[in-house]
Amino acid sequence: MQVTGKVFLVGAGPGDPGLLTVKALELLRSADVVVYDRLVSPHILDLIPDEVMRISVGKASGRHSVPQDQINQLLVDLCLADTPKPKRVVRLKGGDPFIFGRGSEEALHLHDHGIPFEVVPGVTAAAACSAYAGVPLTHRGMSHGVRLVTGHFLENKRLKLDWRALADPDSTIVIYMGLASLERICNSLINEGMDPATPAVAIQDGTTDRQRRVFGDLATLSKRVKSSRLTAPVLVVIGRTVALAGQLDWFSIDKEHVSDALAGASNF
């Protein structure tokens, strides 16, 4: 069957519609079909014209409504459909398609089936959620690098991470999808020599009006997150720069007393 469409793998950012790129907005307004994930903000979905077909393939941890291989094939099928004009298919993904978004898997599947595609980067949660929490990822004299890792476990298998390399006091660690495994992550870093008093924060629904933050340190964060009953999506930031949140807190929806929460990390 002749190819009659093109797929645009578009990053929607972490939630705040103001962080959507101009190119992403233009594609949403000109699309024929939008295939979107669960983490795409409802406010961003509201920007899609009413006449555009919407297909939800939202996935949550442990509750995959559409398996990844079926999503891959859906994108191909949409581009092979018999239509009078080429179809513009927007694959809308939370954050950035190529940062823990499985966008590269979808792109490879499209390539293997001869389907043309473009990638439109989005603002990833590491950059956006940390900024809205008042936490710089780097700061002169405090952090000279950033490590982005996933804390997601498959079938309760051990995370294949180099904990010794991650336990670097001069870097900031950002953990995606690490809520369920947070205690194991913190303990692994401590066991590899990272100071238990290293400041840390867990951010739920970052950049949105539902944003919540739980501050602590490597030794206490997991217990504080459990008692606060945070729910996914949660981003975790660990490192010296978290201690700057009390001074750089500009968004502050949750009205957290940051300075009190970080009192134990004042030596950083």
Ramachandran category for residue 207: left, alpha or beta (phi over 0 → left; psi -120 to 50 → alpha): left
Q: What share of the chain is helix, strand, coil (3-state, %, to 5)?
A: 30, 25, 45
In sequence order, what DSSP letters do the residues of 68-131 get, joined into one string? Answer: HHHHHHHHHHHHHS--SS-EEEEEEESB-TTSSS-HHHHHHHHHHTT--EEEE----HHHHHHH
Whether a cis peptide bond, with omega within 30° of 0, leads into 233 is yes
C-beta of residue 2 within 8 angstroms of C-beta of residue 113: no
Angle between helices 182-191 and 221-228 (to 10 degrees): 170
Taking CA 148 as the corner, what is the angle to CA 146 and CA 149, rounded to the nearest 5 degrees? 140
Please provide residue 142's backbone torsions phi and psi, each rounded to the nearest 5 degrees: -120, -40
Catalytic residues: 37, 59
The neighbour count for residue 89, using CB atoms within 10 Å, is 28
- Cα dist. 181→60, 178, 268 in Å? 16, 5, 26
